[in-house]
Structure 1
């Protein structure tokens, strides 16, 4: 039978550096958290602050587990 578990996008409390957003995104996508963190820093540098606004929005909107 197919596994029909629902994936939830949540902030992780156990593997966080700031708020757990990158850890939650990495878990949701099934990729390494280091890759998501590096991409977040690169986005922060090249987006002129838009990535920071997105990070804060995710921090506020994503539930914590």
Structure 2
């Protein structure tokens, strides 16, 4: 698990302490790709509508794998 955390941290994927709503996954993804966190949250919600259920599996997995700051 430490290798996954360090790999994601090297890539710039980490859950920030500020700006979290639930787990910080969308905020971390937004920071990594230079987007506003609300845009990533809207994209997440839109894909939940288009492909129901997939994000319910993806979000908790990313929450576990992405290291916190």
Q: Normalising to structure 1: TM-score of the pair?
A: 0.84
Structure 2 portions without partners, runs of 5+? 1-9
Matches of 1:23 and 1:45, distance apart in 2: 20
Aligned residues: 60
Misfit runs of 4+, over 3 Å: none
Between structure 1 and structure 2, the one with the greater Rg is: 1
- What is the alpha-carbon root mean square deviation over aligned residues? 1.2
Structure 1 portions without partners, runs of 5+? 1-5
1 or 2, which has the higher helix percentage?
2
